[in-house]
A and B are shown apart, each in its own frame.
Chain A
Amino acid sequence: GAGVSQSPRYKVTKRGQDVALRCDPISGHVSLYWYRQALGQGPEFLTYFNYEAQQDKSGLPNDRFSAERPEGSISTLTIQRTEQRDSAMYRCASSLAGGGTTNNEQFFGPGTRLTVL
């Protein structure tokens, strides 16, 4: 079926506003990951889920960042009281499962480009 989708593709917001970024993983994929990518850099891990359970959130920069995946499918990354330094590409990826080398290959979405003015 379709690959990983993210929305919106572009988001421009004013400093201090809250934003919600959505990720729709490949159907049936157990694991979902959020990354932040600065221009010219590799993706920086933020958090990931197995089904609806958030397994690791050690990469979230501070408590303004949160993520949820309430039904084990779609996930939302929320940034409260945005700051200019939050501007980046936010990428989501999903994988079928852990264990095998093929199963845990991550498939990436197109990303949401966030610009905080």
Chain B
Amino acid sequence: KNQVEQSPQSLIILEGKNCTLQCNYTVSPFSNLRWYKQDTGRGPVSLTIMTFSENTKSNGRYTATLDADTKQSSLHITASQLSDSASYICVVNGGGYQKVTFGTGTKLQVIP
């Protein structure tokens, strides 16, 4: 069964600190992996997209890494801001009919 597991489930960090969120998946075949940010009450918004051949991709203070061999991805947030408080969801696309598998998300809270 295709699964996407994220850790930690929740995280509290001080403003200005860095953090790293983890995503492990068992989806096969693999097409691409995305990280989404979802603010409370809003729909998910894409942060990064990576294919099999890409190891890292940055979007401002967000840097995602992908190890397709171990089927692991991480999202690193640098110099966190209060506005980074949200749920971060890892989504893996198995290709073919564009079916995607969502992780349950990591809830990040940045405190002053």
Q: Give chain A's interface residues, CB within 8 Å of chain B.
A: 4, 31, 33, 35, 40-45, 48, 50, 55-56, 91, 93, 95, 98, 101-102, 104-106, 108-111
Contacts and interface: CB of A to CB of B under 8 A. Distances in A.
Contacts, number: 59
Interface residues of B, number: 27
A101 B51 CA distance: 7
Interface stretch (B12-20, B67-75, B103-111): B103-111
B97 A45 contact: no
B76 interface: no
B93 A45 contact: no
B98 A43 contact: no
Nearest to B96: A98
Contacts of B103: 42
Given A40-B107, A45-B101, A104-B32, 12 more contacts: A31-B98, A33-B100, A42-B89, A42-B104, A42-B105, A48-B99, A93-B43, A98-B95, A98-B98, A101-B51, A102-B49, A105-B49
B102 A45 contact: yes
Contacts of A48: 97-99
A96 to B, nearest CB: 10
